[in-house]
Amino acid sequence: MNPKLTRRRFIKGVIASSAAAASTSLWYSAIGADRPAGAVERLLSLNVNGQTRRVDVAPQETLAHTLRYKLGLTGTKLGCNRGECGACTVLADDVNIYACSTLTHEVSKKAVMTVEGLRAADGTLHPVQAAFVQELSPACGFCTSGQVMSAVALLKSNPRPTREEARQAMSGNLCRCGAYDHYLNGVMRASGQLS
C-alpha cells in the first residue's frame, strides 16, 4: 500500500461529515484484499431539502436512485437515465444538475434540493410552481419537476432574465409535449416580468 495514503487523511478529506460511522466500516475497506484504504463510506448524512437524512448508499449509486428509491422522493423523475432529457434535474448548492448522472457520494457535502423541497411549510407553492400553474405550463407533466428546478436555479442566479436568457437556461430540459413556450411564459411570470 502506498504509505502516503494514510487513513487519517482520508477520514479528514472524504468522510468528515459522517465521522460516527467512519471508525468502524473504514476497516472493512482497508482489509479488503490489496485495495488502497479510504474508499468511501456507504453510510451518508445527506442534506436533502434542508433535512439531514441518514442513508446507506452504494459507491456507484446515482443521486436519482437514492432520492427515488431510498428516500421516497419520487418527484424527481427518470426519463433517459443518461443525461439527455432533464427530467431528473435537482439542485446541488443551488446549481441545477442531472440526478441520473451524479453519484450520491459526489454531493455528500452539498445541499440537495428537489421539487418536494420548494413549497413553504404552510403548503404555499414556490413562485415558480405558482407561475407554472397560472401559465398552464405543463401538458402531460412528466418533465415538469425538472423544468421547475431549472427555473428555480436560473432565478437564483439571475432574478430578471431576458426571455432569451431563460431559453438558454432551460435548454437542458426536454419536453416531449413541446410546451416550451408555456414554460418560458412561466419563467417570465415567476420573475415578475409578465402580469
Partner 1 sequence: MSSHDVMPEMSLYQPVRVEDAIGIANQFADRGWLVGGGQDTYGWLKDRAKSADALIDLKGIESMRGVKETADGIEIGALVTLTEITKDPIIAQRYPLLAQAAGRVASPQIRNVGTIAGNVSQDVRCWYYRRGLNCYRAGGNLCYADTPEGMNREHAIFNASRCVAVTPSDTGPALVALEAQMVINNASGQRVVAAEEFFVGPNLDIQNTTVLRPGDILTAVRIPSKWANAQFYFEKVADRNAWDFALVSLSAVMRVNNGVIEDSRIVVGAVQATPRRLTEVEQAVRGKARNDSTADSIGDLASRTANPLNYNHFKMPLMDNLVKRALRGQA
Ligand X SMILES: Cc1cc2nc3c(=O)[nH]c(=O)nc-3n(C[C@H](O)[C@H](O)[C@H](O)COP(=O)(O)OP(=O)(O)OC[C@H]3O[C@@H](n4cnc5c(N)ncnc54)[C@H](O)[C@@H]3O)c2cc1C
Instruction: Please work out the total of residues on this chain that contact ligand FES, with binding judged by CB under 6 A.
Output: 23
Instruction: Please work out the total of residues on this chain that contact partner 1, with binding judged by CB under 8 A.
Output: 44
Find the shortest distance in angstroms from Cβ 141 to ligand FES: 5
Contact 93, 28 (CB under 8 A): no
Site for partner 1 in 12-41 (CB under 8 A): 12-14, 29, 34-36, 38-40
Q: Alpha-carbon distance 99 to 136, whole Å?
A: 26
Per-residue mark of binding to ligand X, 71-90 (x: CB under 6 A): ------------xx------
- Between residues 59 and 83, which has the closer beta carbon with respect to ligand X? 83
Q: Which stretch binds ligand FES (CB under 6 A): 67-75, 102-110, 140-148, 186-194?
A: 140-148
Q: Is residue 127 classed exposed, middle or buried when 0-12, 13-18 and 19+ CB atoms within 10 A define those classes?
A: middle
Q: Which stretch binds ligand FES (CB under 6 A): 33-41, 75-83, 104-112, 148-156?
A: 75-83
Contact 117, 179 (CB under 8 A): no
Sheet holding 43-48, edge to edge: 51-56, 43-48, 111-113, 89-92, 95-98
- Alpha carbon separation from 23 to 105, 115, 195 (Å, rounded): 18, 35, 57
Q: Alpha-carbon distance 160 to 183, whole Å?
A: 15
The distance between the two most distant Cα atoms of the chain, rounded to a whole number of Å, is 65
**Which does residue 175 bind out of ligand FES, ligand X, partner 1, none, counting CB within 5 to 8 angstroms by kind?**
ligand FES
Site for partner 1 in 67-106 (CB under 8 A): 78, 80-84, 86, 89, 95-98, 101-103, 105-106
Q: Which residues bind ligand FES (CB under 6 A)?
A: 78-81, 83-88, 98, 100-101, 138-143, 175-177, 179
